[in-house]
Chains A and B, each alone.
Chain A
Amino acid sequence: MFFKWLNKKKTRYPEFWIAYLDHFKTIDKKSINETRFVAFDTETTGFDTHKDRVLSIGAVAFTGKAIAVNHSLELYLNQDVFNPETVEIHELLKSNNLNKIEELEAIKIFLDYIKNATLIAHHAGFDRNMINAMLSRHGLGKLKNKFIDTGILYNRSKHIIYRDNLQTHYTLDDLCKELNVPKVDRHTASGDALITAVVFLKILSRLDKRKNLKWGYLLR
Chain B
Amino acid sequence: MKNSIAERVGDFLQRYPPFNMIKSNDLLEIASEITIIYLEKGESIFKNTEPAHEYFYMVRDGAISLNYDNANVIEIMNIHDMGDVFGLQALIVKEPYKLTATANEESILYAIPISLFKSITDNNTKIQKYLITVFASNTHVPYTVEQTGEIFSDYISNTAQDIINFQTASYTKNPITCQVNSTLKDAALKMCAHKIGCIIVIDTNKKPLGIITNSDIKNKIATGLFSIETEVANIMSTPVITGKKGLTVADGQLQMIKNDIGHLCITRDGTINSKLIGVLTHHDVLATIGNSPAVILKDIKRANRTKKLRAARLKANNLLKSHLEQNIPLSHIVTIISQINDAVTVRVVELAIKKMPSPPPVTFSWLALGSQGRKEQLLYTDQDNALVFEDVPEKQYIETQAYFLELSRIITKTLNKIGFEYCEADMMASNLEWCKSLSEWQNQFKDWILKPDKKAVLLSSIFFDYDIKYGNQKLVDNLTDFIFNTLSETSLFYKFLGSDAIKSPSPVGFFKQFLVEQDGEQKELFNIKSRAIMPLVDAARLLVLSKQIRYVNNTAERFEKLAQLEPENKALYKSCAYAFKALSKFKTKQGLFNNNSGKFINLQTLTKEEKLKLRRCFKPINEIQEVLKIRFDLKNFI
Q: Judge whether A141 is part of the interface by a CB distance below 8 angstroms.
A: no
Q: Judge whether B37 is part of the interface by a CB distance below 8 angstroms.
A: yes
CA distance A66 to B37 in the complex (A): 4
CA distance A190 to B31 in the complex (A): 15
Cβ-defined contact, A180 with B106, below 8 A? yes
Residues of A within 8 A of B515 (CB): 180
Cβ-defined contact, B106 with A205, below 8 A? yes
CA distance A55 to B534 in the complex (A): 54
- B6's partner among A65, A70, A177, A208 (CB-CB below 8 A) is A70
CA distance A8 to B1 in the complex (A): 36
Q: Give the nearest-CB partner of A76 in chain B.
A: B2
Cβ-defined contact, A74 with B3, below 8 A? yes
Q: Give the nearest-CB partner of B4 in chain A.
A: A190
**Most chain-B Cβ atoms within 10 A of its Cβ — which of A70, A98, A188, A201?**
A70
How many interface residues does A have (CB within 8 Å)? 30
How many A-B residue contacts, CB cutoff 8 Å?
85
Residues of A within 8 A of B106 (CB): 180, 202, 205
Q: How far is the CB of B82 from chain A (nearest CB, A)?
A: 9
Q: Judge whether B512 is part of the interface by a CB distance below 8 angstroms.
A: yes
Cβ-defined contact, B108 with A69, below 8 A? no
Q: How far is the CB of A216 from chain B (nearest CB, A)?
A: 23
Check A60/B5 contact, CB under 8 A, given A66-B35, A201-B38: yes
CA distance A190 to B35 in the complex (A): 15
Q: Give the nearest-CB partner of B62 in chain A.
A: A180
Q: How far is the CB of A191 from chain B (nearest CB, A)?
A: 6
Q: Give the nearest-CB partner of B6 in chain A.
A: A69
Q: Judge whether A174 is part of the interface by a CB distance below 8 angstroms.
A: no
Q: How far is the CB of B23 from chain A (nearest CB, A)?
A: 19
Q: Give the nearest-CB partner of A68 in chain B.
A: B35
Residues of A within 8 A of B8 (CB): 184-185, 191
What is the 8 Å Cβ interface bit string for chain A, positions 177-194, against chain B (1 contact, 0 not)? Answer: 100111111001011001
Q: How far is the CB of A154 from chain B (nearest CB, A)?
A: 15
Chain A 62-79 residues near chain B, CB threshold 8 A: 65-70, 72, 74, 76
Cβ-defined contact, A99 with B2, below 8 A? yes
Q: Judge whether A176 is part of the interface by a CB distance below 8 angstroms.
A: yes
Q: How far is the CB of A90 from chain B (nearest CB, A)?
A: 12
- A198's partner among B31, B38, B513 (CB-CB below 8 A) is B38
Q: How far is the CB of B334 from chain A (nearest CB, A)?
A: 35
Cβ-defined contact, B5 with A191, below 8 A? yes
Cβ-defined contact, B32 with A191, below 8 A? no
Q: Give the nearest-CB partner of B108 in chain A.
A: A198
CA distance A208 to B38 in the complex (A): 14
- A sample of 18 cross-chain residue pairs with beta-carbon separation below 8 angstroms, ordered by A number, consists of A67-B37, A69-B31, A74-B2, A74-B3, A74-B5, A99-B2, A180-B61, A180-B106, A182-B61, A183-B516, A183-B518, A184-B12, A185-B5, A188-B4, A190-B5, A194-B36, A201-B38, A205-B106
B contacts, CB < 8 Å to A: 1-6, 8-9, 12, 31-40, 60-61, 106, 108, 111, 512-513, 515-516, 518
A contacts, CB < 8 Å to B: 58, 60, 65-70, 72, 74, 76, 98-99, 176-177, 180-185, 188, 190-191, 194, 198, 201-202, 205, 208
Q: Given contacts A67-B38, A69-B6, A194-B36, could you give 5 more A-B pairs where the C-beta distance is less than 8 Å?
A: A66-B35, A69-B35, A72-B6, A185-B8, A191-B4
